[in-house]
Amino acid sequence: MTIASDDFGHEFSELYQEAESENCESLLNYQIESERYEIHEVVASGGMKNIHKALDKKCERTVALATPKQDIDESFYDVFLREAKLTARLDHPNIMPIHDLGLRETGQPYFTMDLKSGDSLATIIQKLADGDTTYLQIYNTAELINIFIKICDAIAYAHEHNVIHLDIKPENIQIGHYGEVLICDWGLSKIIGEADYDSLDEALFNPDLLNNLTQHNRIKGTPGYMSPEQIDHKHPKSKQSDIYSLACLLYTLLKFKAPFSGFSLDETLKLTSEGRIPYLKKFPVALNAVINKAMARDPEDRYESVIELKNELKNYTNGYATLAENAGLIQEAKLFVKRNKASSTIILISLILVTCLTLFFIGRLQGKIDQIKSLHAVSEMNRDEAIGNAQKAREAEGLAEERLGEVQKSSEQIKKLYWQSIRNYSDRFVYQTPAISMHQAISQLNELKELYPNDAYLNIQLIYNYFICQKFNEINQLNRNPELVSDLVNLSEKYAPKLKQNGLLTPHDFAHLIREFTINERYNLAEKMLSYYHERNSHADLLPVVTAILKLWNPQWDQQGLKYDPNQHHLTLASNDIKNLSSPVHYLHSKLTILRFLKVNKLSFYEVQGPQIAQINDLKIHTLDLSSSSILPYNELGKFRHLEKLILNQKQFKLWKQMYPKSLLKVTVK
Amino acid sequence: MPSNWNTRYTLLDRLKNDDDQEAWEDFKAYYDPFILIMLSKFNIAHDDKDDLVQEILLSLWKSLKQFKPDENRAKFRTWFSQIIYCRSMDFYRKKSSSDKKVESLTKDPTALESFTEPEIEKIFQKEWEAHIVNVALENISPMFSGKAIDVFKMAMKNTETNTIAKSFDLKTNTVIQLKNRVKNRLVKEIQTLKSERELF
């Protein structure tokens, strides 16, 4: 016993005398209804509840009735009720509907659901693993993936309502005899973000606080399906936790056993929290890639949404390359042929046919020509026939050209796919993972260039992408055709000598370069360049560059009123002319503020009416001082997730109190 | 006093049965730590504690074997504290008569003798209550996250709810509910321990 807890006993020995309190309050809302249900045998049993078969005498039908196990402490009842209420809010064909919620004569709460005939997915997987032929016939890979996609739909729906399930596993998925897929057991689920329920909070319903513990204090979750963050709590539980579990489920569906099965509980927990990913031998690269991505150790590296995961899988089933696969040209071509088996075969056969026909006609033509030659002198009677044959040869040639065109068309499609991938890298991913995205974009562009050395547009793209990385020397070495990007080519020539040893300009020179941009299209380019620069050279003082970009975006700004204290990380904005704190080009833009490249803990606005706070709410600031501005504190402030302290003036504070009387934010009034 | 007669009677019954090794183990586990606490209140030298605890446990057990629920009018605390006190005194008398080197002991028996009977009962009750509360808290701790227990402890020390909410990054509502949940569970556990360990 520790000294601290010793003190506790002495300090609060009055607890010794205290009487036990009554039942949990949340039960008071319900009335005892003992007549309605006739409870039969237990059909299933979960962590803290039993599910009985029961006859609903009112509706004369059989239902499934869930009620806490006998030995479950009353203090856990409101968790039980919460599951029922939360599930009842979710209305989706693939989520088990809740019919009724009430109290039994024993005082225990219950809720009722459909009693489904059918198997749990766990049973099905067991049968498949045992090699049951009937099951293998019904549940082939395509059907299993179909089931999985339905599960994804239901989870995506729940996520849209800010509910995360946190216990996705085969045991919690019911498959009806007619192929219905139902997700049950939302006992561990949790509401994220700003829920309507004030009381539903992380700590209160933290699964390790309640659900994962039986009365005997053992982990009750499902090893092999739990995400690393559910074990080590290094990251908050999020939608990505469900995505991790979905990937485990996908693995199980393909392999008929859970990831890490065969390991002990402790080993599984350890492997999971280390971020190990089981490898699917003999399975398509694409599926492995999807599972790898969805089971990444760091939630940020997983798919952004369940929809994205689902689409990847659909891509796979439809024969397209998945994003996670990082497909090269050959892989894309393979997949293209694979998913266009019929047309590819036709094209091949036609090619052979056309070649044979052409050769045949040419041969025949040659014969005819010889014949004509020999006969010409003798008679011109055969002339018409000769002309007719020549006509046929021309027709054959035309046909050959047409077929060739078709072949070219399919390679055009591959090229199109390639372009799509390059654009994704250089227009979208560049803001989040600049170095790796630019590496991918440039290497794919170079691959394409080998195939189409004379493509002018390719050159332009290469110049643009090199420019993002400040690879001016590479641009100068290109055989270039500077239309559209002549400004970039000229700037490359000018700035190449100024590159430092690390292949980058100094922030000062970088800022100069940005000030030379003249056309609007360069608004986003500047941000991409800074994004790349920041990742490569994160310790540099980026204030001059940020200022130059702000000037680029706000040409009317006199460059006064932006102050940054690098020691305090305090940024002061005192100008009404900085209207655009994020890119004014609303196409393929990052949607983030450029100020994110400065480390800002405190942000103060002076004499400012704008700019809209919405533009900067992704900043990780701790302190926001609005007191010297006329900005009104409104809704957007909730989006500053790191905000701890708000400084307001009297007027603003009055408004703030009216609007958010319950806010916990520390507010200082000036 | 707890109302759960059944449990108490059973434990007493079990203790009366010579062969019930498990009952002895339970008995030891229940009272061993507490007797140690009491002995340190009596300023008993550390080296002697283990032997003395054994003697006291045996003495308690012997006394319980002759215990008849209806006849015994004594309070649990009177009975228990007296046995601890008497055995401690005996222990020292025996030791000082057999062992002539009284040097190390002189201060202890005098300290022991300086307590009056009601005083001892009072100390016993105070320590016993604190001990039960501590054991209860220890027992329920694994059922809650560390955060919940910390919130509860802070709330018990009358820290303002807002302050707790802020330092744990919780909503005030949650803090209140957490506190109540832990407290209810704790009070329940205390009641269980009382009925389990206060034998009459």
Tell me: the pLDDT tens digits for B47-100? 778 888 888 988 888 888 777 666 556 778 888 888 888 888 888 777 777 665
- CA of A644: which chain B residue's CA is closest? B166
Confidence of residue A510 (pLDDT cuts 50, 70, 90): very high
| Nearest CB to A203; choose among B126, B134, B148 | B148
Cα distances (Å, whole numbers) of residue A476 to A459, A501, A533: 12, 18, 20
Cα-to-chain-centroid distance, residue A524:
23
- DSSP at A75: G
Average pLDDT over residues A641-666: 81
- Look at A201 and B174 and tell me if their CB atoms are within 8 Å: yes
Q: Find the closest chain B residue to A6 by CA distance.
A: B134
CA nearest to A18 within chain B: B187
Q: How far is A213 from chain B (nearest CA, A)?
A: 7
Residues of B in contact with A201 (CB under 8 A): 170-171, 173-174
B102 in contact with A at a CB cutoff of 8 Å? no
Close Cβ partners of B68 (under 8 Å, ≥ 6 residues apart): none
Query: 3-class DSSP state for residue A13?
Result: helix
For range A574-596, the mean pLDDT: 83
pLDDT per residue as tens digits for the range A426-452: 888 888 888 888 998 898 888 888 888
Going by pLDDT thresholds of 50, 70 and 90, the confidence category of residue B134 is very high
**Distance from C-alpha of A639 to C-alpha of A616, rounded to nearest angstrom:** 10
Whether A208 has its CB under 8 Å from any CB of chain B: the answer is: yes
A18 inside 8 A of chain B by CB: yes
| Crossing angle between the packed helical segments B146-156 and B161-168, to the nearest 10 degrees | 160
Measure in Å the smallest separation between the Cα of A175 and chain B Cα atoms. 34
pLDDT at res. A611: 61
Q: Note the pLDDT tens digit of each residue in A641-651.
A: 788 888 888 88
Amino acid A470: pLDDT? 92
- A-B C-beta contacts closer than 8 Å: 97
Closest-CA residue in chain A for B131?
A9
Contacts of A16 in chain B (CB under 8 A): 129, 132-133, 190, 194
Contact A664 B165 (CB under 8 A): yes
**Chain B partners within 8 Å of A642 (Cβ):** none
- In this structure, are residues A487 and A518 in contact, taking their beta carbons and an 8 Å threshold? yes
B153 CB near a chain A CB, below 8 Å? yes
3-state secondary structure of A530: helix
In this predicted model, what pLDDT tens digit does every residue of A181-224 receive, in sequence order?
A: 988 877 777 776 533 333 334 434 443 333 333 333 334 456 77
DSSP A317: H
pTM for the whole structure: 0.43
Position A506 pLDDT exceeds 80: yes
Is A15 within 8 Å of B190 when comparing Cβ atoms?
A: yes
Residues of A in contact with B33 (CB under 8 A): 1
**CA-to-CA distance for A605 and A573, rounded, in angstroms?**
5
- Residues A229/A241, Cβ–Cβ less than 8 Å: yes
**Scanning every residue of chain B, which has its alpha carbon at the shortest distance from the alpha carbon of A645?**
B166
Provide mean pLDDT across the span A85-99.
85
Q: A16, A48, A213: best mutation site toward chain B, by most B Cβ within 10 Å?
A: A16
A479 contacts chain B (CB < 8 A): no
Confidence check: pLDDT of A377 > 70: no
The pLDDT score that the predictor gives to residue A29 is 62
B194 touches chain A (CB under 8 A): yes
C-beta atoms of B184 and A21 within 8 A: yes
The complex's ipTM works out to 0.80
- Residues in B 4-43 with any Cβ partner in A closer than 8 A: 33
User: pLDDT: is A212 or A467 the higher one?
Assistant: A467
The answer to whether the CB of A443 falls within 8 A of the CB of A466 is no
pLDDT band at B165 (very low <50, low <70, confident <90, very high): confident
**Residue A267, pLDDT score:** 80
What is the reported pLDDT for A205? Answer: 42
Cβ separation B137–A18 shorter than 8 A: no
Q: What is the mean pLDDT of residues A542-560?
A: 89
Condensed to tens digits (0 to 9), the pLDDT of residues A163-183 reads 888 888 888 898 888 888 988
Identify the residue among B171, B176, B177 best suited for mutation to test binding to A, counting A beta carbons within 10 A and taking the highest.
B171
A118: left (phi over 0), alpha (psi -120 to 50) or beta: left
Q: Which residues pair with residue A109 across a beta bridge?
A: A103
Nearest by CB: A201 against B143, B162, B170: B170
**Direct distance between the N- and C-terminal alpha carbons of chain B, in angstroms, rounded to an integer:** 9
Q: Which residue of A has its CA nearest to B37?
A: A6
Instruction: Please say if the pLDDT value at position A665 is more than 50.
Output: yes
Band the pLDDT of A243: cuts 50, 70, 90: very high
Bridge partners (DSSP) of residue A64 are A53, A113
pLDDT of residue B2: 40
- Residue B199 to residues A15, A401, B69, B75, Cα–Cα distance (Å): 20, 104, 10, 10
Q: Is A282 helix (H, G, I), strand (E, B) or coil?
A: coil
pLDDT at res. A213: 36
Closest Cα in chain A, distance from residue B93 (Å): 32
Contact between A75 and B129 using a beta-carbon 8 Å cutoff? no
Mean pLDDT, residues A377-393 taken together: 69
A568-591: average pLDDT:
83
The DSSP code for A208 is T
Interface touch A203/B151, C-beta < 8 Å: yes
* Minimal CA separation from B44 to chain A, in Å: 19
Cα A179 to Cα A94: distance, rounded to the nearest angstrom: 11
pLDDT at residue A84 is higher than 70: yes
- Contact state of B130 with A199 under an 8 Å Cβ cutoff: no
| pLDDT value at residue A21 | 61
Residue A209's pLDDT is 36
Residue A275 in contact with partner chain B when CB distance is under 8 A: no
Lowest mean pLDDT segment, chosen from A305-319, A364-378, A566-580: A364-378
d(CA B187, CA B2): 13
Confidence of residue A511 (pLDDT cuts 50, 70, 90): very high
| Cβ atoms A214, A152 nearer than 8 A | no
Average model confidence (pLDDT) across chain A: 79
Strands (E), A95-150: 98-103, 109-114, 118-120
Residue B148 has pLDDT above 80, yes or no: yes
- Of A643, A666, A668, A195, the closest CA to residue B163 belongs to A666
Which domains occur in chain B, in start order? 5-142 (1.10.1740.10)
pLDDT for residue A27 = 61
Identify from A201, A231, A643 which residue to disrupt to test chain B contact, counting B C-beta atoms within 10 A and taking the largest count: A201
Shortest Cα distance from A209 to chain B (angstroms)?
5
Q: What is the pLDDT of residue B1?
A: 38
- The two beta strands, A602-606 and A190-191, are unpaired
| Ranges A7-11, A120-124, A488-492, A658-662: which has the least confidence | A658-662
* Nearest CB partner across the interface for B143, out of A9, A213, A664: A213
Q: Find the DSSP H helices in B42-116.
A: 46-65, 76-98, 107-113
Q: How many angstroms separate the Cα of A546 from the Cα of each of A588, A592, A598?
A: 20, 13, 8
At A376, is the pLDDT very low, low, confident or very high (cuts 50, 70, 90)? low
Q: What is the pLDDT, as a whole number, of residue B42?
A: 79
Lowest mean pLDDT of A210-219, A332-341, B32-41, name the range.
A210-219
Please state, in angstroms and as integers, the Cα–Cα distance from residue A464 to each residue in A11, A18, A419, A513, A548, following that order: 71, 75, 14, 15, 20
Query: Is residue A543's pLDDT more than 50?
Result: yes
Closest CA to B149 of B164, B163, B128, B160: B164
- Cβ of A209 and B144 within 8 Å? yes
Could B187 and A20 be called an inter-chain contact, meaning their C-beta atoms sit closer than 8 Å? yes
Q: Which residue is it, tokens 């500077």?
A: A482
Q: Is B143 within 8 Å of A666 when comparing Cβ atoms? A: no
| pLDDT > 70? residue B11 | no
Q: Which of A1, A198, A213 sits opposite B171 (nearest CB)?
A: A198
Alpha-carbon distance of B76 to A624, in angstroms, equals 62
Residue B131 touches chain A, beta carbons under 8 Å: yes
Return the pLDDT at A151.
92
Shortest distance, CA B184 to any CA of chain A (angstroms): 7
Taking the Cβ of residue A232 and every Cβ of chain B, the question of whether any pair is shorter than 8 Å is answered with no
